[in-house]
Amino acid sequence: MKEPTLLDNVFERFLRSTQVFRNREVLRHDYIPGNLPHREEQIRCLGEIVAPVLKGSRCSNVFVYGKTGTGKTAVIKYVLNRLADKAREFGAPVKICYVNCRLAGTEYRIYSSLCNAIGVKVPFTGLALGEVFDRLKAGLDSRKLLLIVILDEIDALIKMRGDMLLYELTRINEALHYSRAAIVGISNDLRFKEFLDPRVLSSLSEEEILFRPYDATELRDILWDRARVAFCDGVLVDGTVDLCAALAAAEHGDARRVLDLLRVAGELAEREGSNFVSEEHIRKAEKRIEHDRIVETLRNLTLHSKFVLCSVYLLRKAKVNYAITGDIYNIYSELCDQLELVPLTQRRVSSLVNELDVIGLLNTRVVSMGRYGRTKKIRLSIARSLIKKTFATDDRLGRLISYAPRCLAEISSGRS
């Protein structure tokens, strides 16, 4: 008989523990529920816009915008899935193609997704953009289809590549004789319209639908809807759902975030072997999500940004109240020397400090110290322990975390 391993024990405990989730998939971002509370108006509006395709006419282009987690993608997928069902029922030649522009990345890949959706084969690469577009038009016309193209995160594409693709797509019907295409553009950025050519804008925005953020009451309804399916009966203690909703409402009414919060809280309860999810679990989940976000951000920094952050860390460790650009640059250069790397210029390091400020790892403020010049006061805005823990696992940075810079004594004598 084999001895049970550590992992066997983990699995055993999991299987024996009381069940928290009935169906945790319901809490994932990509799950499309059968009911979308507080989006009835948008559903009806989009439904009315796309309905003409059931009678063989082209529908208007639609421009949908709203912040992340306001239900744009879910509503559109929901409505167009239903439309596709109805179209099959009535034998209408409708084809729907969903493309996430940010994930697709290039115009070529977007065209090639559209080609694949209507059954036109194109190589992964190698063709001129114009050629792929021509094949799309030819393929579309020969199949006599009503194509609805959903371009999600369209703002990401425009910012990266300009609006050429949208210009071509909004004019595609001029080149078609037997088919018609309509575009549903989805944008997270409300100012995105400013980037568009007026001709593209007027064509794309034949109809517009706005998704405003959910408030706490609406988030609570959404959450209850999902929670009833996701969790076993009696698992959610009174007040947990309300707390989740309140926390997320305070941060721009993002429904995705609230679902994450509840899922992670449930997982924490599950691991503890608890048979209910309490407010305590929600608080822990919030900390866990924030912790994971910071660790992920730290890991993904470039080497030099890590060095800059490490310099601020070392200053803070030496009890220096605040750092200024010059100090940080001195320590940073010393760290580079240690690893035999050529340091970047102070100008560049100053930009890196700004970037670290923008992503919330540093807190900076431009100050004038009179005769002693104008500079920037820089502080850490995350816990020192988090940096230590994350960088300790890195070969090179692990050494630097415990390094004592020579210039530190001079700095700390002047400013502790």
Partner DNA sequence: TGTCCACTGGAACGTACGGCTT
Partner DNA sequence: AAGCCGTACGTTCCAGTGGACA
Applying CB under 7 A, does 54 fall inside the site for DNA?
no
Helix intervals (H) in 162-215? 164-170, 198-204
- Contact residues for 338 (Cβ-Cβ < 8 A; gap 6+): 399, 400, 403
Applying CB under 7 A, does 326 fall inside the site for DNA?
yes
Applying CB under 7 A, does 302 fall inside the site for DNA?
yes
Of all helices (H) and strands (E), which one includes residue 84? helix 72-90
Applying CB under 7 A, does 353 fall inside the site for DNA?
yes
Kindly indicate which of the ranges 6-14, 241-249, 320-328, 392-400 contains the residues binding DNA, using the contact rule CB under 7 A.
Answer: 320-328
DSSP-assigned letter for residue 34:
S
Applying CB under 7 A, does 81 fall inside the site for DNA?
no
Applying CB under 7 A, does 126 fall inside the site for DNA?
yes
Q: Nearest approach, Cβ of 377 to DNA (angstroms)? A: 9
Angle at 337 between CA 332 and CA 343, to 5 degrees: 55
- Which residue in 346, 363, 381, 412 binds DNA (CB under 7 A)? 346
# residues contacting DNA (CB under 7 A): 42
Q: Nearest approach, Cβ of 182 to DNA (angstroms)? A: 25
Kindly indicate which of the ranges 63-71, 126-134, 202-210, 225-233 contains the residues binding DNA, using the contact rule CB under 7 A.
Answer: 126-134
CA distances from 305 to 14, 198, 300, 351, 397 (A): 41, 40, 10, 10, 11
240 vs 311, beta carbon nearer DNA: 311
16 vs 371, beta carbon nearer DNA: 371
314 vs 344, beta carbon nearer DNA: 344
- Which residue in 5, 125, 393, 413 binds DNA (CB under 7 A)? 125
Backbone angles phi, psi at 188, to 5 degrees: -85, -20
Applying CB under 7 A, does 106 fall inside the site for DNA?
yes
Q: Are the beta carbons of 281 and 265 closer than 8 angstroms?
A: yes
- Which residue in 345, 385, 393, 413 binds DNA (CB under 7 A)? 345
Q: Are the beta carbons of 65 and 192 closer than 8 angstroms?
A: yes
33 vs 373, beta carbon nearer DNA: 373
- How far is Cα 126 from Cα 217, in angstroms, rounded to an integer? 52
Q: How far is CA 405 from the centre of its chain?
A: 38
Applying CB under 7 A, does 371 fall inside the site for DNA?
yes
Applying CB under 7 A, does 108 fall inside the site for DNA?
yes
Helices H / strands E in the chain, number of each:
19, 8
Applying CB under 7 A, does 350 fall inside the site for DNA?
yes
Applying the rule CB under 7 A, the residues between 133 and 172 that interact with DNA are 160-161
Q: Name the percent of the chain in helix, strand, coil, to the closest 5.
A: 60, 10, 30
- Which residue in 54, 127, 216, 246 binds DNA (CB under 7 A)? 127
Q: 375 pairs with which residues across the strands?
A: 367
126 vs 234, beta carbon nearer DNA: 126
- How far is Cα 321 from Cα 323, in angstroms, rounded to an integer? 7
Kindly indicate which of the ranges 61-69, 192-200, 242-250, 368-376 contains the residues binding DNA, using the contact rule CB under 7 A.
Answer: 368-376
Applying CB under 7 A, does 413 fall inside the site for DNA?
no
- Which residue in 22, 102, 109, 288 binds DNA (CB under 7 A)? 109
Applying CB under 7 A, does 375 fall inside the site for DNA?
yes
SS3 85: helix
- How far is Cα 243 from Cα 219, in angstroms, rounded to an integer? 11
Applying CB under 7 A, does 366 fall inside the site for DNA?
yes
Strands, E assignment, 255-383: 323-324, 362-368, 374-380
- Exposure class string for 326-342: b at 16+ Cβ within 10 A, else e: ebbbbbbbbbbeeeeee
Applying CB under 7 A, does 347 fall inside the site for DNA?
yes
Applying CB under 7 A, does 129 fall inside the site for DNA?
yes
Q: Are the beta carbons of 255 and 219 closer than 8 angstroms?
A: yes
- How far is Cα 19 from Cα 276, in angstroms, rounded to an integer? 9
Per-residue binding string, DNA, 239-258, x by CB under 7 A, is --------------------
Applying CB under 7 A, does 324 fall inside the site for DNA?
yes
Of all helices (H) and strands (E), which one includes residue 101? helix 101-104
What is the dihedral sign for C-alpha 213, 219, 221, 226? positive
Kindly indicate which of the ranges 83-91, 113-121, 125-133, 205-213 contains the residues binding DNA, using the contact rule CB under 7 A.
Answer: 125-133
Applying CB under 7 A, does 313 fall inside the site for DNA?
no
Applying CB under 7 A, does 351 fall inside the site for DNA?
yes
Contacts with DNA, residue ranges (CB under 7 A):
105-109, 125-131, 160-161, 302, 304, 324-327, 329, 342, 344-348, 350-354, 366, 368-376
